[in-house]
Amino acid sequence: MTPLDHSHDPAARSWVASANVPGCDFPIQNLPFAVFRQQGSDEPFRGGVAIGDQIVDLARLALSGSMDGLAQEAALAGAQPQLNALMAMGPQAARALRHALFDLLKETADGAAVARLRSCLTPQAAAQYALPVQVRNYTDFYTSIPHARNVGHMIRPDQPLSPNFQWLPIAYHGRASSVVPSGTDFHRPLGQAFPAGAAAPVFGPCARLDFELEMVAYVGRGNALGERVPLAQAEEHIFGMGLLNDWSARDHQFWEMAPLGPFLGKNFCTSVSPWVVTMDALAPFRVPAVARPAGEPQPLPYLADEANQRAGGIDVQLTVGLESHLHRERGLPAAEITRTSFRHQYWTVAQMLTQHTVGGCNLQSGDLLGTGTISGPTQAEAGAIVELSLGGTRPLTLAGTGEERRFLEDGDAVVLRGWCEAPGAARIGFGECRGTVLPALG
Ligand code: CA
């Protein structure tokens, strides 16, 4: 785990005034990465770093003469239209760039540095974002016990939690081509379902469309085929984390899923936030991994060590907002429908990465490891509508408009947000991950 250093100092302030506003997602202690260009332009996409309501353009920064050494090499890699090359350089490179940017952006930076940096800034309000990486591989885990119990109960009432859940981080290999950046809308998928009481399956638009509140870990340095990554080194292979919405067609999923796992019910769209928050930025918010009471399965030795148990978890506060057509028409904010924390996940991101490689699978820089739906211990903390509405039997009432929802309707936007707060640390945020459901195409 990353040790704390001067770049985590909660008293540090930036000459970019918006970065010092309380509640800002992107203070100088955060410095997350995204890929962007000027909205409405045909400029090439390139990497950028958030500060307040601005973006430090890494392509311009690399040409500005502001940096040297490893930080300059990292800025050059980050200036590409995907961050895979920067991620491949490993944590030292991203840390060198973080420290260099911290010095250039802090309130006490000298006038010449400020002038050079000022010419590298673009307002976030004028930016269009692309995927932060070229997605070559996407794996989605299943690591929340409440989620596994709630959904498992609907599929296998006699044994909601599968016997392997507490022994290994379960996952499936997801679809890389349909991962989209926040703000990309998608059409309600068509597919096959077997409604309760029907005599035969039916084909049509999904009737039980859902979101899944997840986080995503981006693989930094990869590993060679056949080479496993020990738990103690796992986090050195994680560049950072973002928000992920694993949109799910429950009626299609539940019919098709046995015996091989999710297919069309999950592969029509997966949204990710533009900003990737580095593991360095998350360092002040580490918490113990979930405790396992005596009598419950304990992790096998390759999935356990003291450091992971002491600080393998991360306390990321998460909310989901549902914004209907009516909310937009009336100028109302999205209705918050759930609120929880990533700290409740049963397996840590290090355990997920180690499990992924233990048989020799080679991870590649920029691969996505979805954490699985994040449902906290209480019903109000569930990370999917199918859980919040008890399988569609108890509709949610949306704040603001009073509308009811059993599942998502056309025109609904789902907005994920995440942030971290801890005593003695500056609050940092992830921005948002948004997508809107469009009507099915005939
Ligand atoms: Ca999922």
- pLDDT tops 90 at residue 6: yes
338 CA from centroid of ligand 1 (Å): 16
CA of 420 to the centre of ligand 1 (A): 22
Pairing of strands 238-245, 209-210: unpaired
CA end-to-end span of the chain, whole Å? 50
pLDDT tens-digit series, residues 350-395? 999 999 999 999 999 999 999 999 999 999 999 999 999 999 999 9
Per-residue model confidence (pLDDT) at position 149: 86
Give distance in angstroms: CA of 28 to centre of ligand 1: 32
Quote the CA–CA distance of 299 and 358 in Å, as a whole number.
Answer: 14
Ligand 1: centre distance to CA 169 (Å)? 13
Question: Pseudo-torsion of CA 97, 100, 102, 108, nearest 10°?
Answer: -170
- Chain centroid to Cα 212, Å, comes to 11
Q: How much is the average pLDDT of 150-168?
A: 88
Q: Read off the tokens for 275.
A: 């900003």
- For the question of whether the overall pTM of this predicted structure is more than 0.85, the answer is yes
Residue with tokens 């981080």: 169
65 alpha carbon – ligand 1 mean position (Å):
44
Instruction: For residue 199, name the pLDDT band (cuts at 50, 70, 90).
Output: very high
pLDDT single digits (tens) 208-251: 999 999 999 999 999 999 999 999 999 999 999 999 999 999 99
- Residue 230: its pLDDT value, please? 98
The three-state DSSP-derived secondary structure of the chain is CCCCCHHHCCCCCECCHHHHCCCCCCCCCCCCEEEEEECCCCCCCEEEEEECCEEEEHHHHHHCCCCCHHHHHHHHHHCCCCCHHHHHCCHHHHHHHHHHHHHHHECCCCHHHHHHHHCCEEEHHHEEEECCCCCCCEEEEECCHHHHHHHHHHHCCCCCCCCCCCCCCEEEECCCCCEEECCCCEECCEEEECCCCCCCCEEEECCCEECCEEEEEEECCCCCCCCCCCHHHHHHHEEEEEEEECCEEHHHHHHHCCCCCCCCCCCCCEEECCCEEEHHHHHHHEECCCCCCCCCCCCCHHHCCHHHHHHCEECCEEEEEEECHHHHHCCCCCEEEEEEEHHHCCCCHHHHHHHHHCCCCCCCCCCEEECCCCCCCCHHHCCCHHHHCCCCCCCEECCCCCCEECCCCCCCEEEEEEEECCCCCCCEEEEEEEEEEECCCC
Does 147 participate in catalysis according to the annotation?
A: yes
Q: Over the chain, what is the mean pLDDT?
A: 96
Instruction: Give yes or no for residue 1 having a pLDDT over 80.
Output: no
CA of 372 to the centre of ligand 1 (A): 4
Q: Which of 6, 8, 99, 147 is catalytic?
A: 147
CA 64, 65, 71, 77 dihedral sign is positive
CA of 179 to the centre of ligand 1 (A): 13
Residue 292 has pLDDT above 80, yes or no: yes
- Kindly state the average pLDDT of the residues 6-12: 98
Dihedrals phi, psi of 390, to nearest 5 degrees: 50, 55
**What are the structure tokens assigned to 393, written together?**
């039997």
Mean pLDDT of 414-434: 98
Mean pLDDT of 92-112: 97
Confidence at residue 387, expressed as pLDDT on a 0 to 100 scale: 95
Angle at 72 between CA 78 and CA 55, to 5 degrees: 50
- Residue 441 identity (one-letter amino acid): L
Characterize the bridge pairing of strands 428-438 and 335-341.
Answer: unpaired
CA of 301 to the centre of ligand 1 (A): 27
Query: pLDDT tens-digit profile of 325-359?
Result: 999 999 999 999 999 999 999 999 999 999 999 99
Tell me: pLDDT of 2 over 90.
Answer: no
Selection from 190, 232, 225 nearest residue 207 by Cα: 190
Q: What's the rounded Cα separation, in Å, for the pair 351 and 349? A: 5
Q: How far is the CA of 345 from the centre of ligand 1 (A)?
A: 13
Distance between Cα 266 and ligand 1 center (Å): 8
CA 297 to chain centroid:
28
Work out the pLDDT band at 175, boundaries 50, 70, 90.
very high
Predicted pLDDT at 24? 98
What is the pLDDT at residue 156? 81
- Is residue 339 within 8 A of residue 374, CB to CB? The reply is no
pLDDT tens for each residue of 28-61:
999 999 999 999 999 999 999 999 999 999 999 9
Rounded Cα–Cα distance for residues 309 and 349 (Å): 12
Tokens of 405: 């929802």
Residue 298 above 80 pLDDT?
A: yes
Q: What spacing in Å lies between the alpha carbon of 140 and ligand 1's midpoint? A: 6
Beta-strand relationship, 368-370 and 138-142: parallel
Token pair recorded at residue 306: 């003291």
